[in-house]
Amino acid sequence: MTAVETDIQTLQLGKAIGAALHDALEADDKVFLMGEDIGQLGGVFRVTDGLQATFGPQRVIDSPLAESAIIGTAIGMAYRGYRPVVEIQFDGFIYPGFDQIVAQVAKLHYRTKGRVRMPLVIRVPYGGDIGSVEHHSESPESYFAHTAGLRVVTAATPQEAYSTLRAAIASDDPVLFFEPKSRYWSKGEVDRTIVRDLDTATVLVPGRDVTLATYGPVVQTALQAAEAAADEGIEIEVIDLRSISPLDVDTVVASVERTGRLVVAHEAPKEASVSSELVASVVERAFASLQAAPERVTAYDTPYPPSAFEESYLPSVDRILDAVDRALGRRHSRSATGSMAMQGGTR
């Protein structure tokens, strides 16, 4: 990647992540990248394409095939004042490094009474809908959201990918940055002067009838559901959570106080998930505002299926609209195209 004459470009989400890495490497000599095949190959998704040629093999490092060693080396480098950014090649490959992340990365700042910082970013391509298999299509974010001491964030658009990753690399806290691999090729404008915070959700579409909170790869699906619902006279307020841990409960509660209804959608399985925590928090803080029980649209509580079945496994526009209708007290059946045959009931 070369320097650009303007700060605003139209980029794919994957290229926006590459731009963020380029600009962070250029801005701070303490930043370095490490991961399997990220150098000469440019990563399996070509996110880091050209970075080793620009910054050299000592700052864009091809690592051995050993996730625990990648994380362990990054811990030592962060101890020495560097700002490592490491890539886990696929979501399901993170488990060999799990102990390092939850027992060391998450704990060292607290364990040393603040004397040691862990300015470490762990990039994790995650999620399904790419026609791949188990360990290449998973959503393991709930494991890490449960672990105190970690920030867990994601991005749904090229701009958010660029801005959030720059903020993550600048943070003195350890950050897991989950990248929705099914959206790597989605395009959008990116202003490379914008660096976002790591904590706040964003209201993407205002609405008065139902709050729909989601993140990462399901954001685009939620926007499509909101557009389809608008054709039926239903206003869905779509919220991109952005931060998985900590959750911006304030923004969701403020929305539910207006709409009276909540639907939460994500690709991870339902049990002990981000949706579990968000629903519980909203019930604790806005119970009196709820006019219906919250609904959840998630993957099923099974291992990730063969790719031939993933369309039924992942949240879809129809499944989200079904949940919206249940929250509104409507009974119906939807076709594969999302049309509705009413069987009675009112809003």
DSSP β-ladder status, 151-154 and 83-87: unpaired
| DSSP one-letter string for 301-322 | SSPPPPGGGHHHHS--HHHHHH
136 noted as active-site residue:
yes
| DSSP H stretches of helix in 80-170 | 98-100, 108-111, 141-145, 158-170
Q: What are the φ and ψ backbone dihedral angles of 282, each rounded to 5 degrees? A: -65, -40
What would you report as the CA-atom Rg of the chain, rounded to the nearest whole angstrom? 20
Give 341's strand partners.
333
Token pair belonging to 71:
């994380």
Q: Are 11 and 187 in contact (CB under 8 A)?
A: yes
The neighbouring-strand residues paired with 37 are none
- At 189 the three-state DSSP class reads strand
- Residue 95 gets which letter from DSSP? G
**Cα distance between the two ends of the chain:** 53
Catalytic residue among 136, 146, 266, 332: 136
> If we measure between CA atoms, which residue out of 128, 144, 171 comes closest to residue 267?
128
Specify the residue for token string 């009112």.
346
> Could you tell me if 126 and 138 are in contact, meaning their C-beta atoms sit under 8 angstroms apart?
yes
Distances, alpha carbon 19 to alpha carbons 39, 48, 194, 214, 287, in Å: 15, 9, 12, 25, 43
- Please state whether the peptide bond connecting residue 174 to the residue before it is cis, i.e. omega within 30 degrees of 0: no
CB 53 within 8 A of CB 92: no
Alpha carbon distance 51, 47 (integer Å)? 9
Q: Which residues are catalytic?
A: 136
